[in-house]
Structure 1
Amino acid sequence: MQLSFLKCHGSGNDFPLIDARALALSDAEWAGTARALADRAGPVGGDGLLLLTAGDGECAFGMRMFNADGSEAETCLNGLRCVARAGFEALGVDRATVRLKTSRAEVARDAELAPGVVTVRTVVGPNSVAAGDVGLKIGAAQVIEAAVPGLPSARAFTAVAMPNPHLVTFVDHVDEAELVALGSWCEAGPALIPARANVSFVEVRGPADLFVRTFERGVGLTDSCGSAMAASVLAAGLTCRVPFDTQVRVFNKGGMVRGQAHADRVVTISGNASFLYDARVEVDVAAARAVVPVIQARRDDEAAAWSAALAALV
């Protein structure tokens, strides 16, 4: 099967993005396509597969996101910004309501993070701090700055659903080996959290600066996870580390976004939606394999603008 795609990234979280509004593949076929195109050892690679899907009476367009292992996520904020931009350009609009797997999102163009960096603002949610919504099988109604019974870590966590599940803990220094060990334990789908969870270690680096490192469900250790950054902003507010209604800079290995959490748990995130190249590729969906893509157009100006923005952050 031949497919056209756009390679894009949000805060270093990179994806092949397919305009699927006129395509009729089954969930199993999309899962196979995701395994083929997002395979880091394959010819494209990515943190997952993004789909721009058709709108309905309430939403201008929709988004689906398949992880690199073929599982489908409830949301992906870094990917949402890229899909939002694709939808804006397809429909000639600057803001929209987007249908997600289990919810909706409000998206709009925003002031540039840096010169030449296309920036999109997303309102994150619906959010929840109910343990059941996070998928935790525990007696407590919620977990905010507390140990999680049964979790192989004595650290204090804050559990939030964005709506995908997140366990956030604040640390003096990120220990990646510890993060990977705990993330891998959650990735196995234990009885404590059978649907798995994203795990983030967060450093507070200033009055309104956070650094986030995440083991992402279905992906592993990633340079960036948009919903984890949003979860970390909310957790910082819930634990009084950063006052609500304060604009926060959230750094990760992929770059930086602007975030803000409010007392009603509404979170907004603004970050880049950078397009890198347009291509076509032959995919064997059943075997989850792809050949080397044919690149049709490169967007070197956007890549250069993002590189300059990263250099300015160092």
Structure 2
Amino acid sequence: MNFTKMHGIGNDYVYVDGFKETIEDPNAFSEFISDRHFGIGADGLVMILPSEIADFRMRMFNADGSEGKMCGNATRCIGKFVYEAGYTDQTNITLETLSGIKYLKLNVEDNKVTSVEVNMGNAILIPKDIPILAEGETFINQPIDIDGIYYNVTCVSMGNPHAVLFCDTDIDNLSLETIGPKFEFHPLFPERINTEFVQIINENTVKMRVWERGSGETWACGTGACAVAVSCVLNGFCKQGEELTIQLRGGDLKITYNTDGSVLMKGPATKVFDGVIEY
């Protein structure tokens, strides 16, 4: 099977061209190829497919084989893939995902896509729609119990669920391998949760690390960065409508939480290599 390895600031996936290739069991295939010792090595699998309601369709699977509804970094990489593969000559395209249609604007130089801007849609703040097992209209700066210690989190869905935790200490010293799973599998989150650990640099810049459900710590998370920007506004750290720089382990994303509730994400997309794998 032919594949392409791509990453969005270090959030790496194996991309399979569904116009040419068929995967009978993508859950098992994702788990196999994601293994960094016995497979290709990735945060998961992304399939690029035809769509009846948009220009293209995306399916994405985590490293543990579970299917996710959305991946912000993958949307940018798909934009680069379909343009450079000649599937489109348009710089404004639509992408069908399990969390709705996303709108991509491709920035092209010398026939290469250098960066992509994605309209990620509106942030979801109602607990039952995120989903989390809590009453009320929002879950902002609310305490949850992790092994007897209370952490205040803000919960947002950007097509998949996120819990954002603001930290007073340097997040580089956190042991995400220890604390991440405790958030991921907390009973408050019926579909598990992605957790962002955030350090405020100034009103226009923050640093984050992310523990992704099904994959563990990744070097970047596009939907997570969007959830962080929304949470920064909701908690009074940043201003709505202003661009925020999110510093991740793999690089920076530019996120704007617009006054109409929508979220814009800007960032690079990088092709690493093409390959063929026996499976």
Residue 206 of structure 2, aligned match among 188, 205, 210: 210
Residue 81 of structure 1, aligned match among 76, 83, 106: 76
Q: Does 1:261 align with 2:269?
A: no
Distance 1:151 1:119, change over 3 A: farther
Q: Does 1:99 align with 2:99?
A: no
TM-score where L is the length of structure 2: 0.91
Instruction: State the shift of 1:213 in Å.
Output: 0.4
Confirm or deny: 8 A CA contact 1:5 1:18 kept in the other structure. yes
Q: List aligned pairs for 1:37-116, cutoff 5 A.
A: 37-56=33-52, 58-89=53-84, 90-110=87-107
Distance 1:151 1:198, change over 3 A: farther
Instruction: State the shift of 1:128 in Å.
Output: 0.5
Distance 1:12 1:117, change over 3 A: farther
Aligned residues: percent identity? 27
**3-state SS, counterpart of residue 150 of structure 2:** coil
Where structure 2 has 5 or more consecutive residues not aligned to the other structure, the ranges are none
Distance 2:148 2:263 in 1: 29
**3-state SS, counterpart of residue 118 of structure 1:** strand
Distance 1:43 1:25 in 2: 16
Instruction: State the shift of 1:141 in Å.
Output: 3.2
Instruction: State the shift of 1:262 in Å.
Output: 1.4
**3-state SS, counterpart of residue 81 of structure 2:** helix
Deviations 1:91-145 (A, max 9, x none): 2221111000131111111388xxx881001111342001112221123332112
**3-state SS, counterpart of residue 88 of structure 1:** helix
**3-state SS, counterpart of residue 91 of structure 1:** coil
Give structure 1 regions of 4+ aligned residues with deviation exceeding 3 angstroms.
22-26, 148-153, 175-182
Instruction: Kindly indicate which of the two structures has a greater share of residues assigned to helix.
Output: 1
Confirm or deny: 8 A CA contact 2:80 2:113 kept in the other structure. no
**CA RMSD for the aligned pairs?**
2.1
Distance 1:252 1:6, change over 3 A: same
Q: List aligned pairs for 1:113-152, cutoff 5 A.
A: 118-148=114-144
Q: List aligned pairs for 1:260-279, cutoff 5 A.
A: 260-279=256-275
Instruction: State the shift of 1:185 in Å.
Output: 1.8
Q: Number of matched residues? A: 274
**3-state SS, counterpart of residue 266 of structure 2:** strand
**3-state SS, counterpart of residue 31 of structure 1:** helix
Q: Does 1:13 align with 2:40?
A: no
Distance 1:145 1:186, change over 3 A: closer
Q: List aligned pairs for 1:227-242, cutoff 5 A.
A: 227-242=223-238
Distance 1:61 1:185, change over 3 A: same
Distance 2:276 2:66 in 1: 23
Q: Does 1:160 align with 2:156?
A: yes
